[in-house]
Amino acid sequence: MKRLISLCAMFAMFALMYAQNIRNFTPGQIWKDTKGVHINAHGGGMLLHKNTYYWFGEHKVEGGIGNTAQVGVHCYSSKDLYNWVDEGIALQVSDDSISDIQRGCILERPKVIYNSRTKKFVMWFHLELKGKGYTSARAGIAVADKVTGPYTFVCSTRATPGSYPVNVKELSTDTKKLFVRDLNGGQMVRDQQLFVDDDGKAYHIFASEDNSTLHIAELTDTYLGYTGKYVRVFENRYMEAPAIFKKDGLYYFVGSGCTGWAPNAARSAAAPSIWGPWVELGNPCVGEGADKTFQSQSTYILPVQGMKNAFIYMGDRWTPSNPIDGRYVWLPIQFEENKFEIEWQDEWNLDFFRR
């Protein structure tokens, strides 16, 4: 009898494990972690470290207050990209009223990269100081010795204070005003992204100048600050949600227009060098729902380890009235010569890239 009971228990355990084993991406549906809780990592980014993927994103809470940072940056890990283990809060907001990351600040789009020289994990995020709406427009920086944290807040800053862009000759009379306004204090940082090139150099890509123009700025060797070298790109094109990836020596860009939390048509571009020239390629989305990026906004483009030409578009389907309910839209990127396309899939898996 005892044996029968333990056999039944074992069977039940295997059945549960099997049931929880996710084998497909289902864009826009509730995506549960291995404990059965909806993944809470919005505006996220990915770090592949020692054959494990780490997903960092904004931890949201229920209700309107969830559009401000009440908890911090959440981290999950996965070996297969379908099943995610909750690794807890990597960076906690602070209860100290003099901290830049005081609870109630706005902390968006965290991204983490690893610095092999310093052996530190470095997180950058868009930071708005508590109670100041979106006027602070700063970059926040935190570091950790362990990938999952805890991350220690280092500082917040405006970008590249006092520096002129490499493409200074292209400054138009109009944008000169905004650009010059922030020249000494530092340029605005809103939606943001990090990109590490093959040579280990890291770049910060962010919406600046009241969201009108993006900047791509080189980071120092420690990844903790700016070298002062940068370019202004897509002048006056009002782009947000930037993500950059590289394939066969070409640099690709995905972003969105500027319509708050509401989805709009995605943008794309390509360049032979991170410094440009960046040539716009139009909306990469095709088919029904393409005009609103399938109700999502880009947050990261993920190269899949061990697969050739396999890149995943990671987007957010925001729900600002109840931010914790935000969904994730992950879709495969398909290349067409030197362009790429994103097409809706109800359900898909990595076999898509083997076709």
Helices and strands, counts by H and E, the chain: 2, 21
19-35 core/surface letters (b: 16 or more CB in 10 A; e: else) = eeebeebbbbeebebbe
> In the bound complex, what is the minimum distance in angstroms from residue 156's beta carbon to ligand DGJ?
16
d(CA 167, CA 200): 23
Select the residue interacting with ligand DGJ from 118, 224, 229, 261 (CB under 6 A).
Answer: 261
Yes or no: say if 266 and 255 are a contact pair by the CB < 8 Å rule.
yes
**DSSP character string of 75-111:** EEEESSSSS-EEEEEEEE-B--TTSTTBTTSEEEEEE
**DSSP character string of 293-346:** TTT-EEEEEEEPTT-TT-EEEEEEE--TTSGGG-EEEEEEEEEETTEEEEE--S
> In the bound complex, what is the minimum distance in angstroms from residue 242's beta carbon to ligand DGJ?
9
Q: Using the minimum distance from each CB to ligand DGJ, give the nearer residue, 191 or 209.
A: 191
257 binds ligand DGJ (CB under 6 A): no
Select the residue interacting with ligand DGJ from 33, 87, 240, 341 (CB under 6 A).
Answer: 240
Q: Using the minimum distance from each CB to ligand DGJ, give the nearer residue, 43 or 45.
A: 43
184-207 core/surface letters (b: 16 or more CB in 10 A; e: else) = eebbbbbbbbbbbeeeeebbbbbb
87 binds ligand DGJ (CB under 6 A): no
Q: Using the minimum distance from each CB to ligand DGJ, give the nearer residue, 27 or 263.
A: 263
Q: Using the minimum distance from each CB to ligand DGJ, give the nearer residue, 204 or 247.
A: 204
> In the bound complex, what is the minimum distance in angstroms from residue 78's beta carbon to ligand DGJ?
23
292 binds ligand DGJ (CB under 6 A): no
Select the residue interacting with ligand DGJ from 33, 100, 108, 341 (CB under 6 A).
Answer: 108
d(CA 178, CA 354): 47
Determine if the peptide bond prior to 332 is cis (ω within 30°): no
d(CA 131, CA 98): 13
What single-letter DSSP state applies at residue 25?
Answer: B
Select the residue interacting with ligand DGJ from 63, 185, 200, 260 (CB under 6 A).
Answer: 260
58 binds ligand DGJ (CB under 6 A): no
Select the residue interacting with ligand DGJ from 87, 100, 182, 191 (CB under 6 A).
Answer: 191
241 binds ligand DGJ (CB under 6 A): yes
297 binds ligand DGJ (CB under 6 A): yes
Q: Using the minimum distance from each CB to ligand DGJ, give the nearer residue, 110 or 165.
A: 110
State which of positions 28-57 bind ligand DGJ (CB under 6 A): 43
Under DSSP, is residue 250 helix (H, G, I), strand (E, B) or coil? strand
The answer for residues whose C-beta is within 8 angstroms of residue 13's C-beta and 6 or more apart is: none
Site string for ligand DGJ, 124-153 (x = CB under 6 A): ------------------------------
> In the bound complex, what is the minimum distance in angstroms from residue 208's beta carbon to ligand DGJ?
14
> In the bound complex, what is the minimum distance in angstroms from residue 75's beta carbon to ligand DGJ?
19
Select the residue interacting with ligand DGJ from 59, 74, 103, 109 (CB under 6 A).
Answer: 109
d(CA 315, CA 57): 12
Which pair of structure tokens corresponds to residue 56?
């960092």
Contact set with ligand DGJ (CB under 6 A)? 43, 108-109, 191, 240-241, 260-261, 297
